[in-house]
Amino acid sequence: MKTNMETGTNLPTSSPPKSTIGILGWLKQNLFNNWYNSILTILSVLVLYFALKGTLTWVFTTAQWDIVADNFRLFMVGQFPVEEIWRIWLALSLVSLLFGLSAGIWRGTNLHLSVVLMGIYLIHILASFTSVNTKMWLGINIAILVVSFFTGPRIPKHKVVTILGWFLAFPITIFLVNGFGVLPEVSTNLWGGLLLTLLISIIAIVFAFPIGILLALGRTSKLPIIRYFCIFFIEFVRGIPLITVLFMAMLLLPLFLPEGIEINNVLRVMVACTLFTSAYMAENVRGGLQSIPNGQYEAAKAIGLNPIQSMTFIIMPQALRAVIPAIVGQSISMFKDTSLVAIVGLADILGIAQAVKSNPDYLGRIMEAYLFVALAYWVIAYSMSYASRRLEKQLGVGER
């Protein structure tokens, strides 16, 4: 043993031995290490081959993508008036700016997401169907991304500014999209496409989160009225499908409201989605709260913190950290579930797909439209789950 170490290689002892098995070795070790794994490997490769071959041939030869190309604006923003679209571009530019800044300052996940965003912009610049105007705005956005990436770290107080920016981005976007009389008002029934999908899901997620925390705390409250109200709300909402909540919001709500008061459809759907998600968020948060050992509460009390301080500094941060995966999962699922609003008549991205497929010009090209919609959902949902996985790692979830 000793002689081995003395006479052995002069590699630094701290580095592990390099793997020397090579590609063939890896294949043998992982895919063909015994007869049934070998059979499974061969079967999987065959299935993959035929599935991919069929799909890819269809995508590149048979499919006619003009249904997407011709209606691209509809898919993105619905009926939003053309002369006001600059407002959406402006909102997007703000998002690009913030992504660029974040990527420059924190790198990591922010950088990866910014690269994806840049890729999406580039693809659309190169695509034949986008207008000159669109290409110009996309170019501006790319420039913003790059410039803010490089200048971000040099701005004084860059972290505070960027975080503040993210918080303000949301109200600013809503203001830009709606106008609220300062800019010409764009009525909500003109909102559509991916824009509407994103607005509904962001509103639902952003508001459901604090409401969910309150519901979770209310559920553990010592006051019976609050506790029972929260339990009733959470269990009621969790017991019914989203689509019924949406129908209730669309059909029942007007019956309860006094004559003359009208809440527009989009707002109703937003409220419905928010309340729906908040019940699930509440359960996630409660799970996190239950995972905190009693010793943490006692230590907080023993050093003299009052219940609010103990919740804010000790319990909630740990509880939320423990359930980030569940919360992001819930957010992704809300984002995808917004597709149900098409059924109650809103023109979200799926609603647009359904609307254009009934145009006789595009007869028999439903597949293309749906595939495009699916791709859009996937890119966004996957980015979210990717970001959350990285966040978990950074925060060291599971390590105590």
C-beta closer to other proteins: residue 18 or 222: 222
Q: Which of 75, 80, 64, 70 is nearest to 130 (CA)?
A: 70
User: What is the smallest separation between the CB atom of 346 and other proteins, expressed in angstroms?
Assistant: 41
C-beta closer to other proteins: residue 157 or 400: 400
User: What is the smallest separation between the CB atom of 398 and other proteins, expressed in angstroms?
Assistant: 11
Are the C-beta atoms of residues 72 and 356 closer than 8 Å to each other? no
DSSP single-letter state for residue 258: P
d(CA 230, CA 214): 9
Tokens of 235: 């269990």
C-beta closer to other proteins: residue 83 or 399: 399
Beta carbons within 8 Å of 191's beta carbon, 6+ residues apart: 77, 78, 80, 177, 199, 266, 347
C-beta closer to other proteins: residue 139 or 398: 398
d(CA 244, CA 114): 37
Tokens of 44: 């999987």
C-beta closer to other proteins: residue 254 or 398: 398
Q: How many Cβ atoms sit within 10 Å of the Cβ of residue 94?
A: 18
User: What is the smallest separation between the CB atom of 295 and other proteins, expressed in angstroms?
Assistant: 4
C-beta closer to other proteins: residue 269 or 314: 314
Length of the chain counted residue by residue? 400
Angle (deg, nearest 10), helices 132-151 and 85-106: 30
Tokens of 8: 């052995």
User: What is the smallest separation between the CB atom of 300 and other proteins, expressed in angstroms?
Assistant: 8
C-beta closer to other proteins: residue 148 or 310: 310
User: What is the smallest separation between the CB atom of 299 and other proteins, expressed in angstroms?
Assistant: 4
d(CA 345, CA 347): 7
Collapsed DSSP state (helix, strand, coil) of residue 300: helix
User: What is the smallest separation between the CB atom of 291 and other proteins, expressed in angstroms?
Assistant: 12
User: What is the smallest separation between the CB atom of 308 and other proteins, expressed in angstroms?
Assistant: 10
Collapsed DSSP state (helix, strand, coil) of residue 210: helix
Residues contributing to the site for other proteins (CB under 8 A): 295-296, 298-306, 309, 313-314, 317-318, 321, 399-400
